[in-house]
Amino acid sequence: MADTLTATALTLKDIAREAGVSLATVDRVLHNRPGVRPDTVRRVKAAIERNAFQPHVAAAELARSRARRFAFVMPAGPNPFMQQIEAYLGEMSAWLSARRLGVEMVATDVFDPSVLAASLETLSGDYDGVAVVALDHPGVRAAINDLVDAGTRVVTLVSDVPSSRRHHYVGIDNIAAGRTAGALVGRLVGQRSGKVAIVAGSQGLRDHSERIFGFSQVMASEFPDLSVLPVLEGRDEDGRSEQVLARLLGRHADIVGLYNVGAGTQGVAKALSDAGRGKQVVFVGHDVTALTRRLLLQGVMDAAISQNPGHEARAAVRVLLALARGEPILREQEKIRIDIVMRDNLP
């Protein structure tokens, strides 16, 4: 009836006794310090395994006096999504200080590889962990690898650099996000046939191009009655997005679906409304902000694909902390889901 999940509370001393060695030797093994015969290492590790021993995290944390410092390298300038991440980190401040963790924001131009790489290089040695919104570029990859080699824990945030040796990626699978957007547009358009427009920031951005790829894949394979128009580039700016979309709407009267891949949502919505086609066109975009929330409630947007920024911020901190402590990562917990947000499940 009452089924217990946790082990008994052994201490290092118990492990030492079990392995027939002294506390000092267990300590050496536990921290990979030199001067222990391979055979002894094995005996100690066996004792640890056998008892499923976990060092008491509170005791370990207390003993190592030194506070941990993490850096968050984020885009400079006004990006609502990034501001949300920063805000959620702010909400954690009591949590952080109760654990004597220091989190510092470093603003930089993440779109310029050399600037970003240089920013990363300056962090070396000063921090126990770094979270970075990274551009996928050889220079950046090298900078990340240097940090890792210097013993800093690195997680990529929102945008990944899979070819680097970063310890973890906190963000969504953008191809799947694009596929989800495609399925939604296709299903919500229903029986109608017609054309589908795509507005992106730039196809040079990895996350945008991956989303477009996934979207197109689904449209081609599952919704043959819908034809996808060439991708418009709005550079994530409202004005330009509005302009290019307005022109396209003028030329095609049979547009039934619209996928906005990045930002510039305000402009996209305005072009739709001005053309008087807000209700006929199925409009799917990304992220839940004050604006998209309003558009969803008004029925202008039909769905938003979202990655929970609060979750991303907290997951990044937790992952960095677990890495620094040598604790296992709860993969399931730290995985960022692709949220489908419609009017009735607005968070």
Give me the phi and psi of 67, to 5 degrees please.
-75, 150
- 177 lies in the binding site for its own copies (CB under 8 A): yes
CB 159 within 8 A of CB 141: no
338 touching its own copies, by CB under 8 A? yes
Residue 3 vs 49, nearer CB to DNA: 49
Task: Residue 345: name its binding partner from DNA, its own copies, none (Cβ under 5 to 8 Å by kind).
Answer: its own copies
CB of 59 to DNA, least distance (A): 3
99 binds its own copies (CB under 8 A): yes
Q: Any contact of residue 118 with its own copies (CB under 8 A)?
A: no
User: Shortest Cβ distance from residue 8 to its own copies (Å)?
Assistant: 9
State how far the Cα of 68 lies from the Cα of 65, in Å rounded to an integer. Answer: 9
Amino acid (one-letter) located at 55 = P
How many whole angstroms separate alpha carbon 2 and alpha carbon 195?
60
Nearest Cα neighbor of 254 from 297, 193, 301 is 193
Q: Restricting to residues 253-312, which ones interact with its own copies according to CB under 8 A? A: 302, 308, 310-311
Binder of its own copies out of 92, 148, 275, 291 (CB under 8 A): 92
- Per the listing, tokens 């969803």 go with 296
Among DNA, its own copies, none, the one that 225 touches (CB under a kind-dependent 5 to 8 A) is none
What is the CA angle 310-315-321, rounded to 5?
135
Residues near DNA, by CB under 7 A: 9, 11-13, 20-25, 27-28, 30-31, 34-37, 39-40, 55-56, 59-60, 62-65
Other beta carbons within 10 Å of 155: 25
Q: What is the DSSP string of 264-326?
A: -HHHHHHHHHHTT-TTTSEEEEE---HHHHHHHHHTS--EEEE--HHHHHHHHHHHHHHHHHT
Binding mask 126-155 for its own copies (x = CB under 8 A): ------------------------------
Our finding on whether 12 is near its own copies (CB under 8 A) is no
Question: Do 174 and 210 meet the contact criterion of CB atoms below 8 Å apart?
Answer: yes
Residue 310: contacted member of its own copies, DNA, none (CB under 5 to 8 Å, by partner type)? its own copies
Beta strands in 12-141 (DSSP E): 68-75, 101-108, 129-132
Question: Which partner from the list DNA, its own copies, none does 31 bind, CB cut-off 5 to 8 Å by kind?
Answer: DNA
Q: CA 110 to CA 228: how far, in whole Å? A: 31
Asked if 20 touches its own copies (CB under 8 A), the answer is no
Candidates 25-33, 90-98, 257-265, 266-274 — which segment interacts with its own copies by CB under 8 A?
90-98
Question: For its own copies, what does the binding mask look like between residues 28 and 57, x meaning CB under 8 A?
Answer: ------------------------x-xxxx
